[in-house]
Amino acid sequence: MKILTVIGARPQFIKASVISRALSSMHSNVQEVLVHTGQHYDANMSDVFFTELGIPCPTHNLGIGGGTHGENTGRMLEKLEALMLLERPDRVLVYGDTDSTLAGSLAASKLHIPVAHVEAGLRSFNRKMPEEINRVLTDHLSSLLFAPTDRACSNLIKEGVAKEAIHRTGDVMYDVALLFKEHAKKPDWFDQAELRKDAFALCTIHRAENTDSPQNLKEILKGLDSENVKFVLPLHPRTRLKLQKIGAPLPSNVHVTEPVGYLEMMWLEANSKFIVTDSGGVQKEAYFHRKFCITLREETEWMELVEHQVNTLVGADSKRISDAIDGDTSFQSDAELYGDGLSAVRISKILTGDFL
Ligand code: UDP
């Protein structure tokens, strides 16, 4: 069996690492053709994950990045269709909610190649998010839908997706966190920056709704400005660009770094006091590391975290951000919301079985 996997962005490399590993170690009759669209191309947004997480070198790299959503999706669609005609895979595997996900699922479904979607059924119910459009469309083009949670399954059922196509597998990001926990790495710069374990908060900002709005970016920076908390902010390239454009100074309690690799990120998450983010993945990782999460959005795809009171939604509102930072950031929950760490094994078995 030949599986063609389409990845292109940081969170997809991380998710694909455990499934590629399961496919190659458990199924000798399976050939995985890895296609990197090039959506994320900086070494610290791409190469580092391949090296650290032992992901095989992509068979094809399309080198498509840096354009608008329409430009990227269109160019990827064209190249992926040609590749799929050449490779003739039995299934196409896509992850999450990026333009690479949508281009992969569109190209495959038009060629009548079954699409398998990892992280199916997530919804923010906010169609202004490009990610929401990508995930809704991809789910409805897929024959195999791997949903991480019960809520994700019921979202799909409500939208009329056939029950037989939906598999509740748990969350592969939990598998990755467990697998690499022992390898978490303290960043070289940490001590020199006069930071101390458990006495700093970790922050990431990259969602378009925040980075594309100078008003939101300024509000977030104002909210982070605090005498009581030091922040570590590994800066996404898009956010860096936008900050430079608006010329907004960063508060002196914020230590800015380049994006870090997964192992350093794990260390920072595990040793932080709490986490402030607009990332989907980082909200869950906060949970894996038992850290309270302050989410810089008005809604989340991971509502169970809010219901368990380990995540609070504060939007891009400086007052709500600083109230949350100065409020109770202790973590209290012992629920296991994201599976048992065997999601990738489960997915690879279904993917390679005769389920379609
Ligand atoms: N991440 C990382 N280095 C960083 C920031 C994030 O390795 O400097 C990891 C993080 O641990 C998580 C993933 O990137 O596993 C989340 O990706 P991102 O926030 O870019 O996307 P989202 O999850 O919002 O789709």
Q: Tens digits of per-residue pLDDT, 72-109?
A: 999 999 999 999 999 999 999 999 999 999 999 999 99
pLDDT digits (tens, 9 = 90+) for 170-193: 999 999 999 999 999 999 999 999
Residue 118 contacts by C-beta under 8 Å, 6 or more apart in sequence? Answer: 15, 19, 93, 94, 95, 96, 146, 172, 347
Q: What is the CATH number of domain 182-326?
A: 3.40.50.2000
Q: What is the pLDDT of residue 345?
A: 96
Where in the sequence of the chain do the CATH 3.40.50.2000 domains occur? 2-171+339-352, 182-326
Q: What is the pLDDT of residue 354?
A: 54
206 lines ligand 1 (CB under 6 A): yes
**164 Cα to the center of ligand 1, angstroms:** 31
User: What is the CA 261 to chain-centroid distance, rounded?
Assistant: 14
pLDDT digits (tens, 9 = 90+) for 239-267: 999 999 999 889 999 999 999 999 999 99
**90 Cα to the center of ligand 1, angstroms:** 30
Enzyme catalytic residues? 206
260 lines ligand 1 (CB under 6 A): yes
The whole-model pTM stands at 0.96
Fold of 2-171+339-352: Rossmann fold (3.40.50)
Residue 119 contacts by C-beta under 8 Å, 6 or more apart in sequence? Answer: 15, 95, 96, 97, 135, 146, 148, 152, 171, 172
Whether the predicted pLDDT of 216 surpasses 50: yes
C-alpha 250/C-alpha 229 separation (Å) is 14
pLDDT band at 355 (very low <50, low <70, confident <90, very high): low
Pocket of ligand 1, candidates 53, 279, 283: which has the most ligand atoms within 8 Å of its Cβ, to mutate?
Answer: 279
**182 Cα to the center of ligand 1, angstroms:** 19
Residue 231 in tokens: 């922040």
Atom from ligand 1 closest to the CA of residue 131: 25
Beta-ladder partners of 115: 92
